[in-house]
Amino acid sequence: MKTFIYIFLVLSFFYSNAQTSADAAKHLGAGIVIGGVGGYAANKISNGQSGWTWAGAVGSAFAAGITKEAIYDSSRGAEWETRDVVFTTLGGVISALALEVFTGNSGNRRGSYKRGKSCGCLVTYFDSNKVQLPKFVETGTGDIFSEVQAAYLLN
């Protein structure tokens, strides 16, 4: 379903003619910001479930686009612009894709940690009994290379 929505919105993006490209960029940017906030909130509320993250991101951007067209533009006497809603919703899709990457949710790992496998997260487990860290020295220069050289020489 996500793939269908994504393809539909991308095709709508290419075949629509917004008033100006700056107007389309504004709607896309607003959709990214609103979708990012809505998707992140849904992600936290649902304990990281991917479907709710997508629903929060795309749904909030779509709702913002509809509300802007229905309330704000109609009060100013402007006509309904479906392509503005599409650009705002496309921003929500982009933010949902970004949240998938940054929160580590992907559909191919569903439940894999329940079968005794690792979750595939970008987390490493550190056992201080097995690994001895080098001593770090603050030389005061703020240069990482001199810090590493001093630590190497002290060992």
Residues 43 and 92 in one domain: yes
- Which amino acid appears at position 17 of this protein? N
Residue 11 lies in a domain: yes
Burial category of 83 from C-beta neighbours within 10 Å (exposed 0-12, middle 13-18, buried 19 and up): middle
What domain range is 144 assigned to? 124-155
The verdict on pTM exceeding 0.85 is no
Residues 9 and 33 in one domain: yes
Residue 23 has a pLDDT of: 82
Residues 98 and 134 in one domain: no
Average pLDDT per block of 10 residues along the chain, 155 residues long? 64 55 84 93 88 92 91 82 89 92 63 51 59 60 71 70
Residue 18 has a pLDDT of: 45
Q: Calculate the alpha carbon distances from 100 to 38, 70, 81 in Å.
A: 13, 30, 30
Residue 128 has a pLDDT of: 60
Residues 31 and 84 in one domain: yes
Residue 9 lies in a domain: yes
Residues 92 and 151 in one domain: no
Residue 62 has a pLDDT of: 94
Residue 33 has a pLDDT of: 93
Residues 145 and 105 in one domain: no
Residue 119 lies in a domain: no
Give me the number of domains the chain comprises: 2
Residue 17 lies in a domain: yes
Q: Is 8 left (phi over 0), alpha (psi -120 to 50) or beta?
A: alpha
Residues 72 and 40 in one domain: yes
Residue 102 C-alpha from the chain's centroid? 6
Residues 26 and 102 in one domain: yes
